Amino acid sequence: MNGRRPLLAANWKMNKTRAQARNFVEIVRQVVSPFPQAETCICPPFTALGAVNEGIRGSGIALGAQDLYWEKEGAYTGEISGPMLAECGCEYVLVGHSERRQLFGETIADTARKTRAAWDAGLVPILCVGESFEQRRSGETERVIETHVLEGTAKLSAGEVGKLVIAYEPIWAIGTGLPATSEEAQRISALIRGLAGGRFGDPVAAGLRILYGGSVKAANAAEFLGQADVDGALVGGASLDPTEFSKIVAAAKV
C-alpha cells in the first residue's frame, strides 16, 4: 500500500444538459457510494455544476470543473475564476487539458498560472500532461513530459505538489479507442514521479497522485489501476455512460 487513494475522474467535456447530468448522478451514486476505497470526481460543463453538486450531496463524490481563468475577477468576458468554482462546490479543476492546448491555444505558461490560481482558490488542480502522436513518433515523449510537469508546477510549493494530481494523457490515446499499454502508462507515470522527486524531493513525489487518461473503459481500467505508479484514471468518452463509469470506479476496489 502506498497510501495514495485512487481517483477516478469523469471529464464530460461539452456534453450533457442539466437534466441529463441529474439522471447520470442518480444512477452513479447508488453504485459509487459503497466503494469508499476510491475517490470519484465528476467534471461536468460549467452549466451543469449546480445540478451535479445537488445530486452528489452526501454521496462522497467530488465535483470538479474542466477549466478556470487565473484572475479572480474582472473584464475577462466568458471566463470563470477559481473562487467562482469553489463557490459552486468544486473541489477539483482540470488544468491544461490537451483540448485546451490544441483547440484554444493554451500555453504551458497559461497552465502554470491556472495551476497556481486553482490552489489559491482552494481547488486541487488535475494537471494534464502528455505528448502528441508526432512528438511520440519523433522520440520526444520524455522531453515533452518533463516540460509539461516542471513548467506546469513552476508556481507551486513542494507542499502543494505533494497534494497535486497529475494526469498523464497521451494525446494520441484521447478519444481514439487506442489506449496506451498499461506498461507505457506505468513507465511515464514513474517518469513523472521521478521528475517531481528531483525537483521537490522524494517524500513529496510519494504523495503525488498520477492518473492515466486516454481511452480508458470498464474493460481495461483494472489493468491501468494495477500499475504501481498509476493512482487512478481520467475518463472522457466512457464517463458519459453511468453504467460504464460505475464499472470503472468499481475496478478501483482493492
Calpha distance 115→156 (Å, rounded): 8
Q: Is 66 in the site for ligand PEP (CB under 6 A)?
A: no
CB of 169 to ligand PEP, least distance (A): 5
Enumerate residues 204-243 that contact ligand PEP by CB under 6 A: 213-216, 234-238
Catalytic residue among 106, 131, 160, 169: 169
Nearest to 85, CA basis, from 112, 121, 113: 121
* DSSP annotation string for 205-252: HHH-EEEEESS--HHHHHHHHTSTT--EEEESGGGSSHHHHHHHHHTT
Tell me whether residue 200 or residue 245 sits nearer to ligand PEP (CB atom): 245
Enumerate residues 131-170 that contact ligand PEP by CB under 6 A: 169
CB of 215 to ligand PEP, least distance (A): 4
Calpha distance 13→128 (Å, rounded): 14
Indicate if 148 belongs to the active site.
no
Indicate if 169 belongs to the active site.
yes
CB of 175 to ligand PEP, least distance (A): 4
Q: Could you say which of 7, 8, 10, 11 contacts ligand PEP (CB under 6 A)?
A: 11
B/e letters for 1-20, b = 16+ CB within 10 Å, e = fewer, are eeebebbbbbbbbeebebee
Query: What residues make contact with ligand PEP under the rule CB under 6 A?
Result: 11, 169, 174-175, 213-216, 234-238
Give the residue numbers marked as catalytic: 97, 169
